[in-house]
């Protein structure tokens, strides 16, 4: 794979390990509702799927359930209040983004996390001023796997998608990158569960550790 002018990252499960704080928020809500908490092992594979996935895991409900809106509101509040309690960059990712910066290769974030959560998290981790672009779920009218967020990121960094590499840990990430005509990499170290089959996602490559990104710099 040839070198790229920019590398774009999914946020949860790719750039940043948010699962501990998402698990804390979900288990706090379960406790409030008088229910048994879940193990981190059970929660981690669902961490990339947002409140719908996590509330589905914890409460066995869909977004159509009558209690979903109130549970979601409380879950998001608990998460927002603890958004950087244990969240960190994945091991090795600081070295990766530092190498990108030293090589004058732009890097940014395209996530399905809403801006009211994305922005304070990026601020807390002191990444906001370092990223060339931050595209959240509500930045454009569409979310991944639609190509609109990806193409908007390209506009912000003033590069064509063909010069960008997108890295994510979910099928929608790879689909979004492909829909935008970017090259794609699956982050196998992310939040993949037994139901995921990344070998079928048709990414251009896959990596087991953030350090593997360095070979394309």
**What positions carry a catalytic annotation?**
10, 12
Q: Count how many Cα atoms sit within 13 Å of the Cα of residue 162 in the half-sphere of its side chain.
A: 0
Helices (H), the chain: 19-32, 40-43, 50-59, 68-81, 93-102, 115-124, 148-157, 171-179
Torsional class of 211: left (φ above 0), alpha (ψ -120 to 50), beta (otherwise): alpha
Is residue 114 within a helix (H) or strand (E), and if so which, with residue range? none
Is the separation of the CB atoms in 111 and 10 below 8 Å?
Answer: yes
> Counting runs of H as helices and runs of E as strands, what totals does the chain give?
8, 8
- Cβ atoms < 10 Å from Cβ of 206: 17
Residue 188 CA to residue 181 CA, distance in Å, equals 21
């Amino acid at each position: 794979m040839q070198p790229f002018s920019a590398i774009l990252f999914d946020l949860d499960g790719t750039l940043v390990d948010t699962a501990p704080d998402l698990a804390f928020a979900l288990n706090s809500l379960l406790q409030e509702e008088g229910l048994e908490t879940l193990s981190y092992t059970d929660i981690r594979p669902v961490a990339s799927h947002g409140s719908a996935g996590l509330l589905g895991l914890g409460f066995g409900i869909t977004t159509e359930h009558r209690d979903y809106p109130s549970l979601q509101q409380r879950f998001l509040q608990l998460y927002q209040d603890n958004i950087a309690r244990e969240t960190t960059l994945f091991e090795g990712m600081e070295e990766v983004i530092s190498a990108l910066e030293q090589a004058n290769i732009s890097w940014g974030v395209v996530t399905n996390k809403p801006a009211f959560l994305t922005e304070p998290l990026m601020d807390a981790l002191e990444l906001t001023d370092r990223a060339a672009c931050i595209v959240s779920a509500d930045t454009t009218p569409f979310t991944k796997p639609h190509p609109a967020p990806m193409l908007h990121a390209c506009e912000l960094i003033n590069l064509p998608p063909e010069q960008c590499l997108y890295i994510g840990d979910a099928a929608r990430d790879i689909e979004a990158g492909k829909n935008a005509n970017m090259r794609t990499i699956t982050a196998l170290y992310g939040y993949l569960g037994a139901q995921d089959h990344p070998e079928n996602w048709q990414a251009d490559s896959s990596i087991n550790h953030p350090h593997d990104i360095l070979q394309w710099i």
